[in-house]
Amino acid sequence: MSSAARRFGSAQDEIADRRVAESHRISSTGAVSRTPPHPSTHRTSPRNAMTAVAPTLRTPFLATPRGARALSRGSARAPARSRHRGHVAVAADATASGSSALDTLMGAKIIAPDGGGDDAVRSSVQTYYGETLQTSDDLKTSACCTPYDLPKRIRGILSNVPDEVKAKYYGCGSPTPQGIDGLRVLDLGSGSGRDCYVAAALVGESGRVTGVDMTDAQLDVAKKHAESYCVETLGYDSPNVEFKKGTIEDLAAAGVEDESVDLIISNCVVNLSPDKPAVLSEAWRVLSSGGEFYFSDVYCDRRLPDEIRSHPVLLGECLGGAMYVEDFKRLCVGTGFADPRVLEGHEIEVRDEELKALIGEARFYSLTYRLFKLPGRLESICEDYGQYVVYKGTIDGHPNAYSLDDHHRIEKNKPFLVCGNTASMLGETWLGKHFDVHGDRSVHYGAFDCGGPPVAMPGGDGAGACASGACC
């Protein structure tokens, strides 16, 4: 490596470190928050307004400095940042379920170990989770292990979940928000049912939870304890959770109707799908307007070669099917889920030396995304309408502050300036009863200044507006 290259790499690291240190503060929950801009500096400068309208997609910030650097610097080990701002628009005809053009572009298609089609992929996954893995101790990577400190109430609920259900849990995050009482919840790839059992307690007796999975061995465990757990442990008159056999690419075949769900959760399953556009399309179909897809999954810092995407162990442990994170965001936007938000994330450890050699310099991350179905309400960039929100402190487990994502941590009773997109997410979804939204979209003040990075990032122009197409 030349001296110039070494200096450039060092400068990148320094810039990234300064951005993480100066722009973010880590909350007690591990989520990253950003202080909102002061009203006196809230309006966008002419330079920011010009740069805010060009298309890009941002790499998500992670809840650790290392992770934030890894996915923000343009090195050989991380995707380069675009120098423009805003969302990349995906052509409508490229977002259809099973689009071969989109799959080719994004490397989204999983390749079956034996060279077969989608059914062969599903068979490989079923074998891995139904037979190869007996407990979480059999895993060769940290992809299917939740690393976060769970909220106190979640820990309390889990202590009452049957041991057999927990023993066959293979998840990479904690995709079950609190404050969801009374909601209709759908778990994609519910497995042994652990997250469904947690959700059954959180939604209360008036709520409803449905789990969909394709693996009989997992469904048998999930169904086995459902009635006793709901009636005897939770004290309900009848179970509020059910499990259905089906694939997450065709929820209609499993009997999930249009706009019948308020909240979709999923834990490290979407990556296993051989048809990811179909998964997002189905999620959009079954969600009611204002609904949310809240899920954890595995992503990569690059598009993966065939030998990784077809490896049976890497596929089974959620690495082989991991999408390049920027391609995933393009898919979200093209499906209708504009402005995808990241709540938290961590880098995945590959423990097996043979697998390490195979993946080379590729790096994998578990990220928890929030996708909102708000047709016609989410814009391609952050727009300023002079709005602010006030958190009431009413979400269970979040008495003093609530983190919408990795850079919106909103303190109770404190006015918090937001863009139009964030105002809609907090006011027009299941979160609406917990927030007061002030202002409407009758007056527009230009692009919203999120109080961006204090210094220019590699590949950027140093403008202080949002580093992405949303409040990011």
Q: Taking the CA atoms of the chain, what radius of gyration do you get in angstroms?
A: 22
Is residue 146 included in any domain, yes or no? yes
Residue 330: name the closest of 469, 125, 188 by CA: 469
102 and 197 in a single domain? The answer is: yes
pLDDT tens per residue across span 245-279: 999 999 999 999 999 999 999 999 999 998 999 99
> What is the pLDDT, as a whole number, of residue 171?
74
> What is the pLDDT, as a whole number, of residue 115?
55
Q: What angle do the packed helices 276-286 and 325-335 form, to 10 degrees?
A: 40
124 and 250 in a single domain? The answer is: yes
Calculated CA dihedral for residues 341, 346, 347, 351, nearest 10 degrees: -140
357 and 257 in a single domain? The answer is: yes
Distance CA 218, CA 213 (A): 8
Beta bridge partners of 294: 265, 370
> What is the pLDDT, as a whole number, of residue 168?
83
Residue 12: name the closest of 461, 459, 468 by CA: 459
**Hey, what amino acid is at 350?**
V
Q: Which domain holds residue 406?
A: 3-60+380-438
**Hey, what amino acid is at 393?**
G
Is residue 172 within 8 A of residue 145, CB to CB? The reply is yes
396 and 272 in a single domain? The answer is: no
Whichever domain contains 12, its CATH number is 3.40.5.100
297 and 418 in a single domain? The answer is: no
Average pLDDT over residues 104-131: 50
pLDDT tens per residue across span 287-303: 999 999 999 999 999 99
Residues 6 or more apart in contact with residue 156 via CB below 8 angstroms: none
Confidence category of residue 169, pLDDT binned at 50, 70, 90: confident
Is residue 196 within 8 A of residue 211, CB to CB? The reply is yes
Is residue 309 included in any domain, yes or no? yes
pLDDT tens per residue across span 137-161: 554 454 445 555 788 899 999 999 9
Is residue 123 included in any domain, yes or no? yes
Lookup: tokens for 287: 């969600």
Is residue 74 included in any domain, yes or no? no
> What is the pLDDT, as a whole number, of residue 36?
39
Region of poorest pLDDT, from 17-21, 46-50, 118-122, 412-416? 46-50
- For the chain, the first-to-last Cα distance in angstroms comes to 34
Tokens 């690059």 found at: 302
Confidence category of residue 3, pLDDT binned at 50, 70, 90: very low
Phi, psi of 280 (to 5 degrees): -70, -35
Confidence category of residue 117, pLDDT binned at 50, 70, 90: low
DSSP 92: G
246 and 107 in a single domain? The answer is: yes
Is residue 342 within 8 A of residue 60, CB to CB? The reply is yes
Residue 464 has pLDDT above 70, yes or no: no
Residue-by-residue DSSP string for 233-263: IS--SS--EEEEE--TT-TTTTTPPTT-EEE
294 and 367 in a single domain? The answer is: yes
Distance CA 6, CA 166 (A): 47
Phi, psi of 207 (to 5 degrees): -90, 175
What pTM does this model have? 0.72
Lookup: tokens for 421: 């997109």
189 and 338 in a single domain? The answer is: yes
Percentage of the residues of the chain whose pLDDT score is greater than 70: 64
**Hey, what amino acid is at 44?**
T
Is residue 55 included in any domain, yes or no? yes
pLDDT tens per residue across span 185-230: 999 999 999 999 999 999 999 999 999 999 999 999 999 999 999 9
Is residue 451 included in any domain, yes or no? no
Calculated CA dihedral for residues 379, 380, 384, 388, nearest 10 degrees: 60
188 and 45 in a single domain? The answer is: no
Residue 34 has pLDDT above 90, yes or no: no
Region of poorest pLDDT, from 96-100, 294-298, 343-347? 96-100
For residue 96, give the H/E element and its range: none
- Which of left, alpha, beta for 259 (phi over 0: left; psi -120 to 50: alpha)? left
Distance CA 186, CA 199 (A): 9
Is residue 212 included in any domain, yes or no? yes
pLDDT tens per residue across span 328-339: 999 999 999 999
42 and 126 in a single domain? The answer is: no
152 and 297 in a single domain? The answer is: yes
Q: What is the mean pLDDT of the chain?
A: 75
